[in-house]
Every structure is written in structure tokens, then in C-alpha cells.
Structure 1
Amino acid sequence: MVDQPLPVISYARISSDTEKDEHGVEDQHRTNGATARRLGWSVVAEITDNDLSAAKAGVTRDGFEAMLRALRAGRLPDGGAVRGAVVVADDRLVRRAGDYERFVDALTYDDGRVYADARGPKNLYSEDVEAMGLFGVVISKIEVRKIQRRLRDNHRSRAERGVPVGGTRPFGWNEDKRTLNEAEAPYVRQAIRDLPRGKSLTAICAEWRAAGLRTSLGNEWTLRSLKLTLWNPRVCGWRNYRGEILRDEEGAPVVGQWETIVTPAEWEAVDAVFQARRGRSVGTGQEIGDVLPENHSQARHLLTGVLRCGRVHEGKMCGTALRVSRHKDCKSHLYVCPSKAAGGCGGLGRQGDLVEEYVIEAVLARLEERQARAASAEPWDGEERLARLVAKRSRLSEEWQNDAISDDVYFPGVKKIEAQLKELRAERHRRQAMAARAGETEDVRERWKGLHVSQRRALVFEALHAVIVHPAGKGRKPFNPDLLVPVWKEE
């Protein structure tokens, strides 16, 4: 009676373009097949996990998991017997100790299983062989971490030199990522100048779509992709590294090796707008926020979301945002409180044109007053403090590099300085944004008629939290502006 060849699984994995060029997955399976034949085994299944890392936690290799199930059961899903596995090398199989232990447990679940790589068979039932395998996994993990550290150091070095990174080209630049795309850059420049003036992301996104613009990947523009493009400090020549502006030892932003679309001051105005909106909105309980909403939608009416119902309902003020409605007996639109089913009280309404006329006049007067105060305000006095902290951080770093101070002194000290620097820079951004917005409100009364509705709404939100609309009583009453109570933003 002739012994039948032992049925085994061939496992292969490649995870980079270099590996694909040098020895593709077909070559690995071919090598595994030659090893199996030399040992008198027969490959009954080829399993591949292409483009999946064996070193990263959280990565699921479906092929690897299927092989473990087959080894533990001793058979394939179609019922075919399995008595072992063959791979090119251990590091093609696992790079994490936990995965190696799972593989050994599955393969040795029954007696008589076999395992081999290109160098020959290994007896995984031997404790010494299993220990050597685990040791190899540890060495492989150390090497992976060295590679990852070298990559991080290389990325950091490229960032500090201002070298453009790989990946898809940024919108506004050509494929070299250095020279401006003359067809795209003007749109980015105009949007960055319009946003602090009150134009909404929604309006800008609609204009870009109407102009037929597409992202670098050829997709339609969304609010998120537009926001990321305008908020990227690359537009002014700076580099964002791990969520922060990359700075040199003197605290100055590192300037990249590419052409800029706008000035740093123009980008900082946009940054201040987005920072002010971050994570803030009107809550579900209709409580009034204290900063700009996340986005001014392209509403058709000026005071949508601004007017709040002041009718006392069930012992408390309703507070619901008024909605726009129409009535056949009224030439203008109406602002009304939604029905009870829609979350309001349904018991208040006002003629839209009269309310808007009053609120516009009040807002314009407020903005003119603010502009007058900004013109006479003292300049920000934090530059000297900022420079002192930057110099202090540089001295501390120099002492640490010269071993004059220990790690226990350096790291807590530099962490405290970095926190103070971040706070001062945020304050400077806020002051710059206030000055920019005040400058934009200059001659606002003359410019009002030419502004887009989203820009008008942004100016309203600049001045107001809300306007509380109190009930006028039953029946038709003459318009009474005293029943409109603005809730102004403190400056």
C-alpha cells in the first residue's frame, strides 16, 4: 500500500509594491509548492492575504483566520483533509507573538501535523522549536518598529525641510506639488478671502460645483472636503504636522518649498473662523450658543434660526426657533413658531419684512459701533511675551541637548512652555480675527445690498446670539419693535 502525500495549506502574503515587483504572491506559492513536493506533501489549498500587514494591531487577515479554522478542524470547508501548512518564511506568516501562538495552537490541536518553510520542516510540537519561533517573532517585531521609526523620522525631517509629501496632489497645485495650478488656485484664494467676510461654506461649495470644479481625486466637492482645503496651512506656505503648525527652534513656522496661494495673515483669519466654530452649535433643547454656528447654511431668509419664540408656554418660555411660512392674506413671508408636534408651541407669528427691517438696522448700528471701537483699540501686547517664551524654550532645549539638565527637568518644563505658547498664539489669532472682522464691517451699510444672503446672515450672527420675539396678543396688532429683544454677543 502506497502512502498518500500529506495534504497541506500553502500560505502567502505580500504587503508592498516592492514585494510585488521582486517576488509576487504567485512566486511565493510556487516556492511553497516546491517545498511541499520535496517533503512528500501535497498542497490542497492556496491562501493569500495580499496588501495586509501582519505587524499592525487591529488588521484582520481573512486568509490567515480561514487557515487557522481549517487547521484546528483538520479539514477544508469543502471537506478535504488538512494535515499541515507551508510558508516561504515565518515573517510571511506572523509578526506578532499572539498570532504565532494562535497558529501553533491550531496546528498542534491534533497529533501528526506538519509545518515547513523554504529552509525545511519544523517540529512545532517541540517546546524548543516553539520558543525559537516566538523569539523570531520578537526580533521581527523589533525590526518592524525600527522601520516605522525610520519612516517617522524621515517624515519629520522632510517636514522640517519643507519638502512636499507624497500622496495625491493638493487642490490648487500641479502634480509636482510645488507650482500653482492656474485654473484652481484663484478659486482657493477667493474662497479664503470670502470666508472671513461672512460667506458660508455652503455658498462657496455651491459656486465651485456650478463652475464644474472637482477635487484632486475627481470627486464632487462636499462641505468637509472644502473645509479641509481652505483650513490647510499649506495654502500660505506652512506645514501641519500631527495637528500643529510645524515650527523651528525659534518658534517661527517652517516654510515649505512650494508656491503659496495666500498670505499667512489671510490663512490665519480663516483659521480663527474655524477655531471659533469648532464643536459649537445650538443644542437640541434650544439653548442659545455663544459663538458662530458650525456652518451658516444657504438659507433663503435672513433670520432663519435667529428668531426665537418668546411666548410663555406651560410655565416657561418656548424658545423654539421660528420657521418661515406663507399666508394668502399676507404679501410678505411670516416667521412662525412650529406646531407642538414639531417641537414648538404653534402660538406666535410675525410679518417677516417688518422684523427683518428692524433687526437689520439694529445689527448695522452694532457693527458700526464695534468697528469704531476696534479702530481706537490698543494693539495686542502679547508679542513680547511670546518672544520671551520662544527664547526660553530654545535655551531649555540647548541645555538638555548639552546634558546640562535631566529629562525629568526638561520634559515637564518644555511641556509647560508649549502650553503657554499655544494659549498666546490662540489669543493672537482671536485678536487678528476680531480685527479682520471689524475691518470687514467698515462701510457695511453701503455694502449691505450687494452682499449674498449667507454673508448677511454671517454678519447677523457676528452681532447676535438670537432675537427673542414676544407675543403681541390676540388679533391683528400694529408692528411693535419693543416686542423684539436682541440678545447681543459680548465682546
Structure 2
Amino acid sequence: MTNVPVVSYARISADIRRDEHGVQDQHRLNRETAERHGWAVVHEYTDNDKSAAKADVVRDDFEAMLRALRAGELPDGTAVQGVVIVAEDRLARRPGDYERFVEAITYQDGRVFADARGTKDLYSEDTESMGLFGAVISKMEVRKMQRRMRRSHRTRAEQGLPVGGTRPFGWKPDRLTLDPEEARLVRQAVLDLIAGRSLHSITNQWRREGAKTSLGNEWTTPSLKLNVQNPRICGWREINGELVRDPAGNPVVGQWEPIVTPEQWMAVKNIFDARRGHYIHRDGRIGHILTPDFREPNYLLTGFLRCGRAKPDGSLCNTSLRVTHSKDCVQHIYICPGKTVGGCGGLGRRGDMVDLFISEAVLAKLEQVQLAASAAPAEWPGQAEYEGAKTRLEELRVQWTAGNITNELFFSTAPDLEKRIARLRTEAQGFTAATQRRQARSDTDITGIRRRWYLPEEEDGLPLTIKRSYIREALLAVIIYPSGKGRRKFNPDLLEPIWREG
């Protein structure tokens, strides 16, 4: 057969080589093989750095090649009568993919196929069976490599050793020594999150300051969230969402320098854990609990203000106020939305004056009580119960390993103890988060807060999310009562702050 139009397929995966030069070498070998048999390569398909062993990886050129083989031609109408590759394990490592390839190439009679070893008759049942057997063996080898890699990761984690891959932000290339500037950014971000600042606000600041990820990319809110949630920043290690622990149940401490304390990291983790499943409805109703701001808000008291206008039945409207603007008013205005969206539409108040009065009230509250930080218990009350449960579980394991208790007793008792330990551990993390938050409040200079409260953020002013966190610590809501018809002088007596107890 001469001048048979065939296509070339090349794949360079991450475990072999990444560069395009390797792909070009494969295509060169494919062309030489085609010329040796008198075939002409009419198209080259390439899936660079795409694994053929993973089910969730889509190889676009592989799929395009199957479509061309089934149709017998390329999209431009050029005939296709065969395929040439370097090796079958570069074509498919999953039996299902190999079967799809054989079905596509044998959809019409007379097709040709070759690799570096020579031609193969895919119409022969023996050849197809050998190809499938090779794909199965290849898949088994991939699974062995994956298991060895997982065991290696687990062993290194249990020894507190750093792993390879991308340099973690905050550390130098040795992955052990802190990068002073990057570590400072991460440390401040953690402290800001504990104080109530939003991820969106911190991300914007980092982008303004020109900070880049360890790969040189712009920071985004998701990438920053991954960074501050990584237990590596406090010296711990996580695998598949679980902390790596020693036989006693304590987190393994890595050999790298930590950026923050474990208590600070747990406080941040608790913040994000508390947000799961919690939300605020569009009409202002609280789905579960009122959580910190997810994004940088535009106005200081959005979500705190409630309409105090009386309904015909004597009850309060109590709708969450929204922000609007008027042509004859420079400042924003808080208004009750119209009846079509659940409000009464009968109340509005000048926003700058409301913001000023509530700010002063909250600052006075901070100065007066310091958010009761000094009255908080120094130690978690459940520590003794937690340690006792861990001790009992370990004793149970020792007795079971020694054969002193039956399997039935061990497996009926251990799960309950494990659940109890997990519950207590969660409570401990919540207590730690609350303690860190109170500590951040008690260590704060209220005079400094007052000074920074009214400054623009670019002049060392407090970010809006941190101001809102102080308000949230002090207030549940603010009810605004109507002032009557027409324009009236601002009357702070018509604002009723609903303070948190304690």
C-alpha cells in the first residue's frame, strides 16, 4: 500500500516530559514509521501533558482523532485510513479507551495501524486481545505508582518532611525557611481574618501592593483562601482534608518554620467552617446565623438597619433597609424597600448621619467594656473530658491488640469513643477561635481604632469589613423609626441600637 493517508498521535504526560520538544520527537518518529510503510501523514494529533490513566482527564485531540477515524476523514474533507503512534501505552492506558479506539479505526475495512515496532492488524481478534491485555497491565502499573506515591506522601508527612511540587507561598525554595516579606503578608492576613476582615478585601490589598503567588500569578480570593486554610502555615500537615497525627492523636509538627501559631490557624479554620450552610436570604431573613462578610461591602451598616415604621396591626415593618441615592443628596440614603419586595417603602434616612451616630455608639461601647474580653475563661472547660476520652480509646486499642478483649467489644465501643473525641475536638477548635478573637480585641488600642475609624483605607484607615466586625460584635441590629412627613432635622433619638448581651 502506498500513499495511504494516516494521522499521527503523540502524547507527552507529566510523568515523562512536559516540553513541546518531546512531542516533536514523537511526531518525527511517527512520520519516519509512516514513510517506511509508504504512508503519508495528513494530520498530527497531540495531547501534551494529559494523562491517559485518569478517568476525569479529557484528551481533546484523542477524542477528535476517534471522530475522524469513524468518519473516515478530517473536518476539511481529507481522507484518513490509518493511525501511526510511538507506543500503545502512549495511546491508551485504560481498557475502555483502547476499545473505543479499536472500534473507531475498524469502523471501516482496510485501515492500517503501526507503532515503532511495526504494523499491527487490529482486525485480528488476537491482536485486539493483546492490545487490551497491554492496556490492563498498563493500568495496573499506574495504580502501583499511585499507591507508592501515596505511601511516600504519608511517610514524609508522618516524619514532618516537606514535599515537592510548587514552592509554598511564605517560604523560600528550600520549603523550610520563611521568606520574610511573604510570611509577613500571610501572618497579617490571618490576624485580619480573625479580626473580621473579608478575604475579598485582603485580596484587593495584596493586588494593589503587587504581591504575586509563588507561580507569579495575581492573587484571587479562592487562592488566598487555600493559602490561609493550609495547616502548613502553623507547622502542621494535612492529607485528604485530615490532619496528619501521631499515634497519640496529636498533629505531627513539620520541620519547616511556621508562620502563625496553631491557635491562630484553628481560629481561621473555625471561621470558614462556621460559614458552611449559613446564609442570609435576599429579603434579609437569617438562614442560620449571621456570619462575617464574605466580600468587601460598599456601605457600613448594610444588613444591620431595620425599618421601625408601624404596620396597620401595630407591629413593626422590621424589613432590612437598602441603600439608594438621590440627585439632590450627595450622601447615600438608607431606605425601606417597596411593598413589591417585602417592605413598606415608607422610611428613609440620610446614610452619613446614621453611620456617624452608630460608629460613635459602637466606639463608646468598645471603650466601656472591651467586649468583655477579660471575663472570658482562660482554659477550655472540656479539656479534661477530651484527654480522658483519648486515653480510654488508646487503652482499648492496646487491650484489643494484645488479644485481651474480643473484636465484638472493641468494634462496638471504639466508634462511640471516636465520635465523642471528634465532637470534643470541634468544640475545642471553636473555643480556640473565640479565644483568639477575644485576644485580638483585648490587645487592640481603642484609641488607635477611633483614630483609624474615620481615615481612608489608603491612609491607614480600617477596612470596612473590620469596622463591620466591631459593629457585629457589639450590635444585633439598629431599628430606625420614622421622623414624620417631609424633611426633618436628623434626630439620633429615632435610632434604637439593639446591643448584644454580655
User: Aligning the two structures, in what range does the TM-score lie when normalised by the shorter sequence?
Assistant: 0.7 to 0.9
Counterpart position of 1:73: 71
- Matches of 2:4 and 2:407 in 1, distance apart? 59
What is the correspondence of 1:91-240 to structure 2 with a 5 Å cutoff? 91-240=89-238
Distance 2:326 2:475 in 1: 25
Q: Which secondary structure does the structure 2 equivalent of 1:468 belong to?
A: strand
Unmatched 5+ stretches in structure 2: 453-461
Question: What's the offset of the Cα at 1:334?
Answer: 4.7
Q: How many angstroms apart in 2 are the aligned matches of 1:54 and 1:354?
A: 62
Q: How many residues align?
A: 486
- Residue equivalent to 2:265: 267
Answer with 435-444 or 302-311: which moved more: 435-444
Of residues 430-439 and 258-267 in structure 1, the stretch that sits farther from structure 2 once superposed is 430-439
Q: Is the counterpart of residue 292 in structure 1 residue 304 in structure 2?
A: no
CA-to-partner distance for each residue in 1:95-153, whole Å, 9 max, x for gaps?
12221221121222222323333333333223333223222221211111111111222
Equivalent residues in 2 for 1:466-485, closer than 5 Å = 466-475=477-486, 476=488, 479=491, 481=493, 484=496
Cα distance in 2 between the residues matched to 1:197 and 1:4? 75
What does 1:420-459 align with in structure 2 at a 5 Å threshold? Answer: 420-442=420-442, 446=447, 448-451=449-452, 452=462, 453-459=464-470
Identity fraction in percent: 49
Quick one: distance in 2 between partners of 1:43 and 1:448? 72
Change (3 A) 1:393 1:358: same
CA contact 2:194–2:268 (8 Å) conserved in 1:
yes
* Higher deviation after alignment, 30-39 or 275-284: 30-39
> Aligned AA for 1:293?
P
Deviates more, 1:395-404 or 1:345-354: 395-404
CA distance 1:362–1:82, shift in 2 (3 Å): closer
Cα distance in 1 between the residues matched to 2:227 and 2:448? 28
Supply the distance in 2 between the matched residues of 1:100 and 1:359 (Cα, whole angstroms): 68
Structure 2: which amino acid aligns with 1:159?
Answer: A
2:263–2:433 contact (8 Å) kept in structure 1: no
Distance in 1 between residues matched to 2:158 and 2:204, nearest whole Å:
36
Could you tell me which of 307, 310, 326 is aligned with 2:308?
Answer: 310
Deviation at 1:319, TM superposition (A): 0.9
Flag the 1:477–1:83 CA change in 2: closer, same or farther, 3 A. closer
Q: Distance in 2 between matches of 1:374 and 1:244?
A: 34
For 1:39 and 1:404, locate their aligned partners in 2 and report how far apart those are by CA, in whole Å. Answer: 73
Tell me if 1:462 matches 2:460. Answer: no
8 Å contact from structure 1 (residues 172, 184) kept in 2: yes
Kept in 2, the 8 Å contact 1:323–1:338? The answer is no
- Equivalences for residues 261-410 of structure 1 within 5 A: 261-288=259-286, 290-295=289-294, 297=296, 299=298, 302-311=300-309, 317=317, 319-323=319-323, 334-338=333-337, 345-351=344-350, 352-353=352-353, 356-357=356-357, 360-361=360-361, 365=365, 371-372=371-372, 375=375, 377=377, 379-395=379-395
The change in CA–CA distance for 1:33 and 1:242 in structure 2 (over 3 A counts) is same
Q: Which amino acid letter does the alignment assign opposite residue 479 of structure 1?
A: N
Aligned-pair CA distance for 1:287: 0.6
| Greater Cα offset, 441-450 or 277-286 | 441-450
SS of residue matched to 1:323: strand
More moved, 179-188 vs 367-376: 367-376
**Aligned twin of 1:10:** 8
Residue identity in the other structure for 2:334: Y
Using structure 2 for the length normalisation, give the TM-score.
0.81
TM-score, reference length from structure 1: 0.83
State the Cα deviation string for residues 54-98 of structure 1 (Å, max 9, x = none). 111132223222322332233344444433223232212111222
Conservation of the 8 A alpha-carbon contact between 2:373 and 2:438: no
How far apart in 2 are the matches of 1:50 and 1:22? 8
Moved more, 377-386 or 315-324: 315-324
Q: For the aligned residues, what is the CA RMSD?
A: 3.9
In structure 1, stretches of 5+ residues that fail to align are none
Contact 1:374 1:435 in 2 (8 A): no
Q: Could you tell me how far apart the structure 1 residues matched to 2:57 and 2:407 are? A: 35
After superposition, the C-alpha distances for 1:312-369 in whole angstroms (9 at most, x for unaligned) are 5798836133326579689x87533356688754321235536753675368548966
- Counterparts of 1:221 and 1:23, CA distance in 2: 31
From the superposition, tell whether residues 78 and 273 of structure 1 become closer, same or farther in structure 2 (CA, over 3 Å).
closer
- Distance in 1, matches of 2:301 and 2:173, equals 44
Amino acid at match of 2:178: L
Aligned counterparts of 2:155 and 2:185: Cα–Cα separation in 1: 31
Q: Distance in 2 between matches of 1:180 and 1:378?
A: 31
Q: CA deviation at 1:196?
A: 2.2
